[in-house]
Chains A and B, each alone.
Chain A
Amino acid sequence: MKTSGYVPEFQAVVLAGGKGSRFTDVTQNKAKCLLPVGNLPLLWYPLNMLQRNGFQEVIVVVSEACKSEVNGLAKRYGLDMKLDVVALSAQEDPGTAEALRLVHDRISSPRVIVLSGDLITDLKLHHLTDLHRAHRSALTALFAQNTLDHKTIPVPGPKSKPKKEKDFVGIDKGTNQLCYISSEADLDEFLSVRRSLLMEHPRLSVFTNLIDAHFYIFESWVLDFLAKDESISSIKGELVPHLVKKQHSKNPDQNQPKPEDDVSDLKNNPNKSLHADDPQDIFSYMCTDSMADKSQELSTWTDHTGDLKGAYRNRPLRVYAHVMDTGTCLRANNLYAYCELNRQISRWMNALAPHREPVHLHPNSKVEPRAQVGVECQIGEGSFVSNKTTLKNSILGVNCKVDEKVKLLNCIIMDNVHVKEGCQITGSLICDGVIVPERCEIKDCIVGKSYKFVVGGKHANETLGDDQNRMMEI
């Protein structure tokens, strides 16, 4: 990576090692980052977004199991970029912060873009980078209006209630500063905000409907801090709230020397109990630009009204948030979002990848003339659709075969699936290699990898796996 003396301003890290624990029924069959969305692996979308915004090199963190596949991903799907694939070891389930620590030594740029491998967005990156640069932010995060309504989206599988996953995101609308963040699960009865915070941000908008895109721009010194403080395991759960909170602390190092410099009698003590469990304060990692500080001091510009304190009230650390209110921004981190994405992707493709030809029917696929295939359908490479079939709103993967008199409605069908004569499948998700025998009726089901159907079987709202026990384990 560090071949030449040129250091780009931004480096990008895609965290794609997630296990997809919110929809294990699907992800147990295939790694989350490789799940197909519109016949492209999920990971393709964030990479494509980065390429669209001018990145030529990306660090990708994936699980050990799919390292080799991801290595070839760029080439296979026509991305002109160099992937530096870092594998997480197979056993443990590391948090996002742990994954970031893993790539810390590969970071040489002053700023790092960290995004989740399941993010599909047509974001114009400059909205975020402009905000970040303008305010010399420590962290800039992306949020988006939640367009998914769990009640109206039909999903396959047994009915389940969506979990409490609402975030409370407090943004000062005047400046876009991110002042408050917490999640519904962490709060008991009250949304509680400190008086001192409201003194500085007397008009704070707390949004309850935003989705955290898990898209961040960090100053690299934040990663230095993260690398040292091993107690932080999750970016969203711990690092971001920590930074948000620290915005309102004064920098202790500005006025006085660090206490441990002066403690001579404790230095001899090898035990060092005094600071053993006290990781260094984040401010000691902070890199400041003295010229920028000076110009801020001399400028009459200020980000607030109501008092005569300097810009930012002389707080050194700041966190900002950009809220996308138009365009696409969705994370495929649960079944609702995953299904909805597959349904909508053909409409969004133009915005997501303007230069890519829309693939309705793959050139190497064959659809017999008397088959009815809706325009919004996608048929993958090497697939075969027979006469007298009806396909609507469905996606067919690679090397699938659909026999005569089959009806597919709102289906996601992965690779190497064979649907035999007379089947009617609606609203279902069928994983790799399944053979659906004659005259089956399947409605709103998730069909696992090697499930064996009975001829003429009828199923509705079920999760069909090869072995129920194995699923319980997971």
Chain B
Amino acid sequence: MMSDLKNEDTLQGVIIADSYDRRFGPLTIHTPKCLLPLANRPMLNYALACLKSCGIHDIIVYCTSHADQIKAFLAEIKSDLGSITVITNEEGRSFGDAIRDLDAKGLLRQNFVLIQADSVANVDLIPILERHKKRLTEDRNASMTLVFKKAAPCHPGRTLDEEVFIATNGDTNRVIHHQKANSSKLNVPLELLDGIDEVRLCFDLMETGIAVCSPAIPPLFADNFDFQTMDDFLKGVIENDLIENTIYLHEVEEHYAARVSNLLTYQVVTQDVLNRWSFPFVPDMILIGLEKTREYRYERHNVYKGKDVIIEKGGCLKENVIVGSSTRIGQYSSVENSSIGAKCRIGHNVTILNSIIHRDVTIDDDCYIEGAIIGSNSKLGPGVIIHERCVLGDHVEFEAKFELTSGSRIVSQPQDSGFSDDEGGEDNDGLKIGSKAFKYVDDVEDEEDDDEIEVITKDIWGLSLKDVHMSEDDSSSDESDIEGLEEACDIMLDDDAKFSVFNAEVFESLHRGFKEGIKADNLILEINSSRHAYAVSSNQVVHSVCSAVFAIPGQQKDLSGPKLLKEIQRVIKAFSPILSKYVKDSAAQIECLFTLEQHCKDHSDYLAVAMKTIHFLYETDIITEDAVLKWFGQSDRHPSFGPGFRKKIQPFIDWLEESEDDDDDDSE
């Protein structure tokens, strides 16, 4: 375009209007993610407003999926913005492709601000840009300043799949290590620490999707075709010795910055906007250049009402609520911590909590909706109950009194899956739960589940930290200490439900693995991924694995006595690599024995062979003598298991102690 005429000081902003993932599943089938409403405004508006408020008028919007819609949307508001260039490329498959394309087109010739379309920030970018330029004079390889928001580890906006560990040079803020926090340890290669006096390990940072880049960045992507995501890029630049470019960190402390990276943060950021953290980007303010009229009235308790909202007698907008224009809320209905789009019809006695409801949705009387997201034009019959973490796509309809279990994802039409020929066959029957409601199938999951990161992001909601923290505490118990076991026991009682699902999955994996002779490594991978998904502690894993191993021989009917023992031994032998992987330290071994004890209590036929089983475990070096003795000593922590079992084991304990005496004698 007019690059030749461009003044050096013109500031350029690049918005990548696609997140290249499917985390918004059902909602993004017909609408691009960046046009989904966030507090009843298209998400893209916040990124545009952020750039605009900083005086960045030369904006490039790069679109991939649903590009025509974005183009049409921008065409509507374009007149008020400075120069806005829309680039579409339906082929692009990743963030890296987008930057490569921009590089090929030669559009990025100076320092520019890169911002994701799903970022919400009221940060002043100009000082960051100035700092970036100044840094270039100190370190000519400084090519990117990443903007992170400071957020303590329990911050609600943080989700497990987006957490990062960052190590920086304490003196210069140069990023020396960047690692997704999906492992239990932060590992900084020692070679990177050379010559650095103070290494700052940061776990209080949250991605914002904003970065200030120098013109050296796009060619870097072009040179390295394996850079697909921003993480690839960071890893490559930091770890590859051949790339000399350096990356710096900027922390946002006072301002607001966040990214709507998954459904959980979709809700959290919506609430933040309603709570005015993102001021001046709040519903009752005009986003300059993007809007002409004030659409919302701001009332106390953070209630925002559009034009012509009708609230019938007894209807109540409690707090932190936005209601779009021409929406009607029926008698005695209450809404709290929620966003409701325009032209919705809410019936009588409806309760809506912590939810996001898009436009033109009809909700009939006596519905109960908590923690859900409902796409536009959906219809809920009277008395429908929707539980937490449900997502409904567009045009979904539910008949009266339907109850949707938590975590469901629903679309209005069966998906054409592409490979299954028998359309409408058994497959779809299984998915159909209403005339206009089908379970959503995410085909991404199947494609690459060998990647550990992929496994974690499987839950499209994004894992809430609350679920993890419990097990977090006890991860310190990897030290071979008894205390770890005790902590784990407390947890078992706490989130039983999750654990039992995990239990079932482990049993399923191992049982299938035993029958089909699947390699131990693959099974370990499978167990680990379930473990991440359900956020269970290491001791719970031990418990599940052991109880599965003990239960498998019992699957065959009519086994008892020596035959059963033989079968048990065969199973243990087959799984010995797995057992030795999980039953490592003494705490785990003790857990293993408790599991056996429990199992024997539930299955009396095992009682007879329990001692031999322990002996076999001892002989195969899965458990040590110490563990047996310690476990035996701790009997009364589970008094309900009864003394009968212990009596059965007594001869083995005696034998162990005797043999130890012998050892002592020998050594003297």
Contacts and interface: CB of A to CB of B under 8 A. Distances in A.
Interface of A: 170, 184, 187-196, 198-199, 202-209, 245, 248-250, 252, 255-256, 259-260, 262-263, 266, 269, 271, 273-274, 277, 305-307
Contact of B190 (A187, A262, A305): A187
B660 A203 contact: no
A195 B201 contact: no
Sort chain B's interface into a size bin: 35 or more
Contacts of A273: 629, 657, 660
Interface of B: 152-155, 165, 170, 181, 183-191, 193, 196-204, 469, 472-473, 475-476, 479, 481-483, 486-487, 626, 629-630, 633-634, 636-637, 657, 660-661, 664
A202 B196 contact: no
Contact of B486 (A199, A252, A277, A306): A252
Q: Which 4 A-B pairs have the closest CB atoms?
A: A306-B152, A202-B204, A198-B203, A190-B187
B202 A203 contact: yes
Contacts of A204: 200-201, 203
Contacts of A203: 200-204
A271 B202 contact: no
Q: Residue among B469, B476, B629, B637 with the most chain A CB within 10 A?
A: B476
29 contacts: A189-B190, A189-B191, A190-B187, A190-B189, A192-B185, A192-B188, A193-B186, A194-B476, A195-B186, A195-B475, A196-B472, A199-B469, A205-B198, A205-B201, A206-B200, A207-B199, A208-B193, A245-B479, A248-B476, A249-B479, A252-B482, A259-B634, A263-B633, A271-B660, A271-B664, A274-B630, A306-B155, A307-B153, A307-B154
A202 B203 contact: yes
A306 B660 contact: no
A271 B469 CA distance: 42
A191 B193 contact: yes
A102 B121 CA distance: 62
Contact of B199 (A205, A256, A307): A205
Contacts of B154: 306-307
A250 B203 contact: no
Contacts of A307: 152-154
A202 B636 CA distance: 39
Given A198-B203, A202-B153, A307-B154, 17 more contacts: A189-B189, A191-B190, A192-B186, A196-B475, A198-B201, A199-B153, A199-B203, A202-B152, A202-B203, A203-B201, A203-B204, A205-B199, A207-B197, A208-B196, A245-B479, A252-B486, A271-B657
Contact of A202 (B193, B202, B476, B629): B202
B576 to A, nearest CB: 26
B668 to A, nearest CB: 13
A195 B197 contact: no
Given A252-B482, A271-B657, A305-B152, A198 B186 contact: yes
A205 B200 contact: yes
Contacts of B184: 194-196
Contacts, number: 127
Contact of B181 (A195, A207, A271, A277): A195
Contacts of B637: 256
Nearest to A270: B661
Nearest to B658: A271
Contact of B483 (A193, A198, A250): A250
Nearest to A305: B152
B187 A191 contact: yes
Contacts of A277: 626
B538 to A, nearest CB: 12
A259 to B, nearest CB: 6
Given A249-B481, A273-B629, A273-B660, A198 B636 contact: no
A198 B153 contact: yes
A256 B201 contact: no
B422 to A, nearest CB: 46
B472 A199 contact: yes
Most chain-B CB neighbours within 10 Å: which of A184, A199, A255, A263?
A199
A305 B165 CA distance: 18
Contacts of B185: 192-195
B657 A190 contact: no
A205 B170 contact: yes
A250 B187 CA distance: 25
A194 B475 contact: yes
A457 B288 CA distance: 88
A271 B185 CA distance: 40
Given A191-B190, A208-B196, A249 B476 contact: yes
Contacts of A206: 198-201
Nearest to B197: A209
Contacts of A188: 190
Contacts of B482: 252, 259
Nearest to B170: A205
Q: Which of A188, A202, A208, A250 has most chain B Cβ within 10 Å?
A: A202
Given A191-B187, A191-B188, A196-B475, A274 B629 contact: yes
A190 B190 contact: yes
A262 B481 CA distance: 19
Contacts of B183: 195
B594 to A, nearest CB: 14
Nearest to A194: B185
B586 to A, nearest CB: 9
A134 to B, nearest CB: 23
B155 A208 contact: no
Given A190-B187, A194-B185, A199-B153, A208 B198 contact: yes
A327 B481 CA distance: 42
Contacts of B483: 249-250, 252
Contacts of B636: 262
A144 to B, nearest CB: 13
A189 B481 CA distance: 26
Contacts of B193: 191, 208
A173 to B, nearest CB: 9
Nearest to A313: B473
Contacts of B197: 207-209
Nearest to A307: B154
Contact of A306 (B202, B204, B626, B629): B204
A381 to B, nearest CB: 42
A194 B201 CA distance: 11
A266 B170 CA distance: 55
A192 B486 CA distance: 26
Contacts of B196: 208
A194 B661 CA distance: 40
A117 B276 CA distance: 60
Contact of B661 (A249, A250, A271, A274): A271
A274 B633 contact: yes
Contacts of B481: 249
A196 B469 CA distance: 9
A187 B472 CA distance: 24
Nearest to B192: A191
Contact of A170 (B152, B201, B475, B486): B201
A192 B188 CA distance: 6
A253 to B, nearest CB: 10
A194 B184 CA distance: 6
A248 B479 CA distance: 11
A434 B636 CA distance: 74
Given A195-B183, A195-B186, A208 B633 contact: no
Contacts of A187: 190
A256 B486 contact: yes
A198 B189 contact: no
A208 B188 CA distance: 13
A229 to B, nearest CB: 15
Contacts of B475: 194-196
A112 to B, nearest CB: 27
Residue of A170, A184, A262, A273 with highest tally of chain B CB at under 10 A: A273
